[in-house]
Amino acid sequence: MPEPILIERDDPAASFEPHRAYLRGLAYRMLSSMAEAEDAVQDAYIRWHRIGVKARSAIENPRAWLSKATTRLCLDRLKSARAQRESYVGPWLPEPVIEPEAADDPAELAQDLSVAFLLLLERLSPLERAAFLLHDVFEMSFQQVAEVLRRDEAACRQLATRARKHIEAGRPRFDANAEDQARIAAAFLAAAGSGDAGQLAQLLAKDAILISDGGGKVKAALNPILGSDNVIAFLLGVQKKVPFPEGTEYRPSVINGLPGFLIVLPDGKIVQTLSFEIEDAVIHRIYAVRNPDKLKTLQS
């Protein structure tokens, strides 16, 4: 894990910044929340600043040191996050990330930001999650992973192996053509807006699932909607009972690597994200994030 730029360590901010995006990506995958990820990265910077020039100068690989600090901070946060999610109202979805910046780092691949992938990570223990991400996504050696997690290498290999089996068993296959995905998402939006049940049925897989996250803060389905017929009935019912006001914008976006839309009210407030898992030219999953706390980072 080479340091991208050699910078004088007497300036903690300048020597930290080349690693910020990398650390943010690591923290987001650990926590599934960009706001919490930003906090963890900032705490890592505070630690980097506090150790002083002499200690910083003695660190051969700053990125490895900062990755270790960030991971441990995330593990501490996961303990409280899991307790909070046990009492969460309705289905829980990760905080949406819009059109992540492209990067040469393999960890920035869009599929590894997908909602499905992040939900699979949620099923792992914190240590399994960390071992898998650090080794398989962020390409650390198991010796480095062992140092971060304060476990021996054999234990870290076992953690990563268990996690990998869970991930591979549940990881969906995505269609590669982003243009076709965007076209299908747009067709779905048009059909839902016009109330065309027949067109919606053609666009949805029979076993389609709609998951809506309101967090008890706004109206949302308290359970996943299962099956295309139920999804269509739910969508058309919502369209009739609580339609968005005239002038609402449905802004095409890439959300966690998936095609979707930001729903923006006439006053400019983002009130929902909508994203789609598409395979074999039909929609298998629809993710709607409505919890205003999870939309804060998207507000301009």
Among 23-27, 164-168, 197-201, 230-234, the minimum mean pLDDT is found in 164-168
Q: Which of 20, 52, 87 is the last residue of a domain?
A: 87
Identity of residue 114: S
102 C-beta neighbours (distance < 10 Å), count:
9
- Dihedral sign from CA coordinates of 70, 73, 78, 81: negative
Report if residue 117 sits inside a domain.
no
pLDDT given at position 81? 73
**Of the candidates 141, 158, 75, 109, the residue with the CA atom closest to the CA atom of residue 256:** 109
Q: What angle do CA 274, 256, 33 make, to 5 degrees?
A: 100
Question: Do 183 and 291 belong together in one domain?
Answer: yes
Question: Do 82 and 191 belong together in one domain?
Answer: no
Please tell me which residue, 269 or 114, carries the higher pLDDT value: 269
Question: Do 182 and 286 belong together in one domain?
Answer: yes
pLDDT given at position 174? 61
pLDDT given at position 257? 85
pLDDT given at position 251? 95
For residue 106, name the pLDDT band (cuts at 50, 70, 90).
very low
The answer, yes or no, to whether residue 288 has pLDDT greater than 90, is yes
**Residues 3/66, Cβ–Cβ less than 8 Å:** no
The answer, yes or no, to whether residue 104 has pLDDT greater than 50, is no
- For the chain, percent of residues with pLDDT exceeding 70: 90
Distance CA 156, CA 10 (A): 34
The answer, yes or no, to whether residue 213 has pLDDT greater than 60, is yes
For residue 187, name the pLDDT band (cuts at 50, 70, 90).
very high
Which positions ≥6 away from 81 have C-beta within 8 Å?
31, 33, 36
- For the chain, percent of residues with pLDDT exceeding 90: 65
For residue 105, name the pLDDT band (cuts at 50, 70, 90).
very low
Structure tokens at 211: 């998951």
Report if residue 34 sits inside a domain.
yes
Report if residue 155 sits inside a domain.
no
Question: What are the start-end ranges of the H helices in 89-227?
Answer: 115-122, 126-132, 142-149, 153-170, 178-194, 197-203
**Of the candidates 78, 70, 64, 66, the residue with the CA atom closest to the CA atom of residue 33:** 78
Report if residue 257 sits inside a domain.
yes
The answer, yes or no, to whether residue 101 has pLDDT greater than 50, is no
pLDDT given at position 107? 40
**Of the candidates 274, 265, 213, 270, the residue with the CA atom closest to the CA atom of residue 243:** 265
Report if residue 133 sits inside a domain.
no
Q: Which of 87, 108, 132 is the last residue of a domain?
A: 87
Structure tokens at 252: 């095409």
pLDDT tens digits for 70-86? 999 999 998 777 767 77
The answer, yes or no, to whether residue 147 has pLDDT greater than 90, is yes
Structure tokens at 139: 């390409």
Tell me how far CA of residue 152 lies from CA of 70, 144, 155, in angstroms: 20, 10, 5
Kindly state the helix (H) or strand (E) to which residue 278 belongs, with its residue range: strand 270-279
Report if residue 168 sits inside a domain.
no
Half-sphere exposure (Cβ direction) of 272: Cα atoms closer than 13 Å: 23
E strand map for 53-124: none
pTM for the whole thing?
0.84
Query: Domain with 271 in it: what CATH number?
Result: 3.10.450.50
Please tell me which residue, 200 or 81, carries the higher pLDDT value: 200
pLDDT given at position 300? 67
Among 26-40, 94-108, 148-162, 222-236, the minimum mean pLDDT is found in 94-108
Domain interval for residue 38: 1-87
pLDDT given at position 271? 96
Question: Do 190 and 292 belong together in one domain?
Answer: yes
For residue 237, name the pLDDT band (cuts at 50, 70, 90).
very high
When pLDDT is averaged across residues 24-33 and rounded to a whole number, the result is: 92
Burial 248-268 (b: 16+ CB within 10 A, else e): eebeebbbbbbbbbbbbeeee
The segment with the largest mean pLDDT, out of 180-184, 202-206, 239-243, is 202-206
Report if residue 44 sits inside a domain.
yes
The answer, yes or no, to whether residue 5 has pLDDT greater than 60, is no
Number of folded domains that form the chain? 2
The answer, yes or no, to whether residue 11 has pLDDT greater than 90, is no
Report if residue 94 sits inside a domain.
no
Q: Which of 87, 116, 147 is the last residue of a domain?
A: 87
**Of the candidates 264, 287, 284, 285, the residue with the CA atom closest to the CA atom of residue 275:** 287
Average pLDDT, the chain: 88
Identity of residue 277: E
**Residues 184/276, Cβ–Cβ less than 8 Å:** yes
Among 95-104, 115-124, 223-232, the minimum mean pLDDT is found in 95-104
Query: Domain with 78 in it: what CATH number?
Result: 1.10.1740
For residue 241, name the pLDDT band (cuts at 50, 70, 90).
confident
